Amino acid sequence: MATEPAVYGSSDRPPRGDYTRDGLVLADYTCPQNYTAYTPQDHDTYRRLFERQSALLPGLACDEFIAALPSLGVKDRIPRFEEINDKLYPATGWEVVAVPGLIPEVPFFTLLANRKFPVTDWIRTPAEYDYIVEPDVFHDLFGHVPLLFNPVFAEHMQAYGAGGLKAHRLGACELLSRLYWYTIEFGLVRQANGLRAYGAGILSSSGELQHSVRSPEPQRIALDVTRCMRTRYKIDSYQQTYFVIDSFQQLFDMTAPDFTPLYAQVQTLGELAADARLASDRVL
């Protein structure tokens, strides 16, 4: 069954990925991992990316991520998804599933609500080694999957999927996407030994990993869900604002209530620029 790619933001080129694969892409956008298509260069790109990011983690990544990273298994090649699932499913009931690229909101939320994390199965080219516009297999596996071994974070991700389906019915996906962006993709956590990154977009980027934790340039604000949902974000530069949590349990508790009245409130308050500064912000 043919499926159409998703397009988020603006781009000069169409989304990458083969969304037909001779009928192998299902209606929910999942497909078999195209493992035989990987070249020796693809595996080497993954290996080099893994080695570089792993070396940067101490003092920058949160303890839970560092503890879970070995669960990804092999480092010298792109893992087979079933190898990861052999460990992940018994740990938290999650599994990774292959998709050809970016997928629309409803299939994405539905997969998360069913404890299935969609992983793009192609990898960047050597020319994109330092920066890639769309998520690839390295970003999805290295950045997102380790924390799915954490029971509290795993519960939060499933709840986010269920909440996303509700937000779609309410026409509030843009507001919820900002929460995803500033937490799951670009979130910071305050540990006893200082600020650390837990967002996948940070953890899979050598430059932003250091920028987010150590640079004096961005502002770092204690997470407030309303403030977060009001704040626009940029996809083509380092973040100007980061939201900070104290623990994954705090994130789970803060996002557990029904967001229906919150969506209405945010829409009346209006949007804020990515670099907005408010007197009420609790700056960290």
Instruction: Say whether 204 is catalytic.
Output: yes
Please tell me which residue in 185, 205, 208, 212 is annotated as part of the active site: 185
pLDDT per residue as tens digits for the range 63-88: 999 999 999 999 999 999 999 999 99
Please tell me which residue in 64, 95, 134, 144 is annotated as part of the active site: 144
Region of 9 (left: φ > 0; alpha: ψ -120 to 50; beta: rest) is left
What mean pLDDT is predicted for residues 169-173? 95
pLDDT per residue as tens digits for the range 97-138: 999 998 989 999 999 999 999 999 999 999 898 888 789 999
Instruction: Say whether 139 is catalytic.
Output: yes
What mean pLDDT is predicted for residues 14-23? 74
Please tell me which residue in 64, 204, 205, 208 is annotated as part of the active site: 204
Single out the residue of 157, 156, 213 nearest to residue 188, CA to CA.
Answer: 213
Look at residue 21 in the predicted model and tell me its pLDDT. 79
pTM, 2 dp: 0.93
Query: Cα–Cα distance between 109 and 129 in angstroms, integer?
Result: 29
Instruction: Say whether 144 is catalytic.
Output: yes
Residue 49, token pair as written in the block? 């990316």
Please tell me which residue in 134, 139, 208, 212 is annotated as part of the active site: 139
pLDDT per residue as tens digits for the range 207-246: 999 999 999 999 999 999 999 999 999 887 899 999 999 9
Single out the residue of 227, 213, 204 nearest to residue 281, CA to CA.
Answer: 227
Contact, 100 vs 19, CB < 8 A? Answer: yes
